[in-house]
Amino acid sequence: MFRKKINRAKLLEFFASQPPCTVAMEACGGAHHWARAITRLGHEVKLIAPKYVKPFVKRQKNDVADAEAICEAGCRPTMRFVAVQSETVQASALVFRTRDIQVRQRTQITNAVRGHLAEYGIVVAQGAGHFKKLVAYLEDPTSPLPEEVRSILSLLAQTATRLEEKISLLDKEITRRTRTDEVARRLMTIPGIGPITATAIAAPAPPASAFRRGRDFAAWVGLTPPQKSTGGKQKLGATSKMGARTLRRLLIIGAAAAIHHAVRRGVPPTSWLGRMLARKPRMLVTVALANKTARIVWALLVKGEDYKAPEVAAA
C-alpha cells in the first residue's frame, strides 16, 4: 500500500496509529523486544529467520529490497516462523549463554598456557584436571622456566582460575533455577540430560508444539542426515551440522556420558543400545542416541509426562 522509511524512535508511534495488522520482521538481536512491544499495540508479529528471507531478495541488497523480501516471505503459506520469546525465557537463556562464553574463554586460556609451555619442553595431557599440573609448575620457584615467561603465564593461569570460579557460580544458579522449573525437572529424568542441557532446551528452544513430530525437533537441532534425493531415489548424507549448534553439542556430550555409564554397568545385549554397540562404531551410536534423546525430549514436552525407561526384552 505504501513504502515509508521510519527511524527507530518513531517506530512504535507509527504502529500505534495503524489498525491491527500482521507485522513480519527478521529474527535479529532485538526482534523479540520489538515483537513484544508491537504485539501490545494489538498487532500480530511474525519473526522469520534471515536464511528464509534471503531467497526472496532480488539481485541488489538494500533496505528497500530487504523489506520487500520480508513482506514476500511473510505471505508464504508454508513459511516457518520463530516463536516470540518472553522476557523470562530470554533471562533464562542469558544465564546459559553467559556460562557458555566463559567456558570457551577458559578453554582458550588453558590451551594457550599449554601451548606456550610446550615450547619450553613442558607437556602434560589435555583436560581441566591436568591443567592444575601446569599451574603447579608455574608456581614452583625451582623450575627452570624463565622468569619473564613465568610472570606472563601466571597471569593467564590466574584468569583461568577466576573463570573457573565464575563458572561454578553459574552452575549453582542454573541448578537453582531447574529446581523451580517444572519443565526442566521433567527433562532431567531422561538419561544424559542434566541441569545445563535442560536449561538450554527449556529456554532458547522453540515450544514443542511448533514441531509436528519428534523427528522435526531433532532436525531443528541438527541431528538428522541431510537429504539429496531426486527422481524418487532417496540419498541421505552424513549428520548435518546445521541447526542449534550448542544444543546439539550438549545432547551429544550427554549421550556419550550415558553410553559410558551404561557400558560400565553392563548393557543388555537385547536392548537398543546393546544391539547398536554390537554392530556400529561408538561415535555413530553416540550421535544416534543424541537423536533419540531429542525425540524423547519432544515427546515429554508435548505430553507433559516424565521419562519412562523402556523394558528390555528377555534374551
| Beta-carbon contacts of residue 35 (< 8 Å; ≥ 6 apart) | 23, 25, 45, 47, 84
38 in Cβ contact with 23 (< 8 Å): yes
Parse the chain into domains and list their residue ranges. 8-74, 87-180, 183-230+241-303
117 in Cβ contact with 137 (< 8 Å): yes
Neighbours of 92 (CB within 10 A): 22
pLDDT tens figures, 117-173: 888 888 888 877 788 888 888 888 877 888 888 888 889 989 999 999 999 999 888
Phi, psi of 145 (to 5 degrees): -70, 135
pTM value is 0.77
249 has a pLDDT exceeding 80: yes
How much is the pLDDT for 29? 83
How much is the pLDDT for 108? 92
How much is the pLDDT for 312? 56
Mean pLDDT of 266-272: 86
Mean pLDDT of 272-295: 90
184 in Cβ contact with 178 (< 8 Å): yes
Single-letter amino acid, residue 237: G
Single-letter amino acid, residue 23: V
How much is the pLDDT for 68? 92
DSSP SS3 for 46? strand
How much is the pLDDT for 141? 80
Separation of alpha carbons 178 and 196, rounded Å: 9
Separation of alpha carbons 197 and 250, rounded Å: 6
